[in-house]
Amino acid sequence: MIDVHTIETKSLGDRSYLVTDGEVAVVIDPQRDLDRIFGLVETKGLQVTHVLETHVHNDYVSGGLELARRTGAAYVVSAGDDVAFDRTPVSDGDVVKAGSMRLTVLHTAGHTHHHVSYALEDAGITTAVFTGGSMLFGSTGRTDLLGPEHTDALTHAQFHSVRRLAHDLPAGAQVYPTHGFGSFCSATPTSGDSSTIGQQGKSNPALTQDEGAYVQQLLAGLDAYPAYYAQMGPINARGAEAWEPSPPARLQASALRQRIDAGEWVVDLRDRTAFAAGHIAGTLGFELSDNFVTYVGWLMPWEAPLTVIGESADQVADASRELGRIGIDRLAGAAVGDIDELAGDETLRSHRVADFATLAKEMTDRPVQVMDARRNDERADGHVTGSQHIPVHELADRIDEVPEGELWVYCGSGYRAAIAASMLDRPGRDVVLVNEDYEAAAGAGVQLTER
């Protein structure tokens, strides 16, 4: 009996898999923090014989090379990928044998040129396929990560790759994608938590539309993706170094202020409403939740020194783990404890928090300046009438466009608006964070401009 264990990384919207026949194990697309995998291996008494990559990843630093080194496993990577380390190269039609398991390599170009999927056989029957960034749940992987000169060809290739999977594999085969659970590697939003080849035939746009309609829809849906993606491919191609989370140096109030005054990034990990209630001037609010690592990696200049403020050592450790997954290996320092004590003699800054109902009331009484911090694709579906649109990932370069005085900031959930509010917070601006899902705006009476 072959078992598939899912190792989910919600903060990046990705899944890794450990597949075992009860004695040996194959790991597919592992993240960099390997303790989760080793815990599973040790608990079940398994031997890892193979580590498989579906592609050179663009949204996280792979733990595959280090896992293979530590276990003595074969590191299986597409033969077409230009990498700087020894690996077991595979091409379309090759078979990886591990214990009683057989995994057939299927070239499924689209997300990348040399992307492969792995079809798993159990007692001679194909029971599952690991699709990486090819067939996702009700979607496919985005095709623009290698540059605009490749996007059109990769989009057509993605269509045919997904069609191939549907044609060659049985309808009952389970689909196990790496991306599509909030990852920006998905071309369009995904749906569901599990699926089969047959079910995808009814919901996947590459299978329900003709090629022209699929290509047009995918290209139209592509929007900005995190800036740190540009660093991930090269790191993975040369082979990531071993990494273990380690506690950063502890800082006191004076050292914290020195770093802020020097223009360094100092990020407050606390809940967005706690940050709004009181924070040290010059710090940025990135609540430690599922979106944390994506937006720090997106907005922070790459390799800039990063200091964090946390309520506890555990909170700092969690942030360090998240950041290590995208190659931010070392924090420059951390300040831990009560924010009033960390501020020393300094007076804390604060800003208001409100909901859409309050915004609606204010807008009926007087002119109100409103900023939309969402992406272009979200804005296109509707927005608060009269709002200024600056996506949060563009705000640092466009901050001079933001007017002084009172400014209400919203996004899709409040998370990005809170980041934007912290970036905008300064004397001369009275920032108000709209801390509510955008879906609530219509029911709250806010005037909206729809598509």
Write the pLDDT tens digit of every residue in 183-231.
999 988 898 899 999 999 999 999 999 999 999 999 998 999 999 999 9
* Cα-based distances in Å from 79 to 83, 98, 357, 365: 9, 19, 56, 65
Per-residue tokens: 219: 């290209």
Q: Which residues pair with 415 in a beta bridge?
A: none
Res 244: pLDDT: 83
* Interior angle at CA 109, CA 106 and CA 114, nearest 5: 80
- Concatenated DSSP letters for 32-93? S-THHHHHHHHHHT-EEEEEE-SS--SSS---HHHHHHHHT-EEEEETTS--SS--EEE-TT
Res 273: pLDDT: 98
Res 188: pLDDT: 86
CA–CA distance, 223 with 155 (Å, rounded to integer) = 15
- In a 13 Å sphere around the CA of 341, the CA atoms on its Cβ side amount to 9
Per-residue tokens: 43: 């608990």
Res 58: pLDDT: 95
pLDDT tens digits for 402-447? 999 999 999 999 999 999 999 999 998 999 999 999 999 999 999 9
Res 161: pLDDT: 98
- In 47-58, which positions are buried (b, 16+ CB within 10 angstroms) versus exposed (e)? ebbbbbbbbbbb
Res 245: pLDDT: 79
Domains and CATH numbers, the chain: 3-238 (3.60.15.10), 253-342 (3.40.250.10), 352-450 (3.40.250.10)
Res 451: pLDDT: 77
Res 246: pLDDT: 82
Q: Which residues pair with 294 in a beta bridge?
A: none
Amino acid at 248: P
Q: Taking the CB of residue 172, how many other CB atoms lie within 10 A of it? A: 13
Q: Using the structure block, give the residue that is written with the tokens 């300040």.
A: 335
* Cα-based distances in Å from 43 to 47, 50, 68: 11, 18, 19
Chunk the chain into consecutive blocks of 10 residues (it has 451) and report each block's average pLDDT, rounded to whole numbers: 96 97 98 95 97 97 98 98 97 97 98 98 95 97 96 98 98 97 91 95 97 96 95 96 87 93 97 98 97 97 96 96 95 96 94 98 94 96 97 97 96 98 94 98 96 77
Residue 85 main-chain phi, psi, to 5 deg: -130, 160
- Nearest alpha carbon to residue 405 among 437, 367, 360: 367
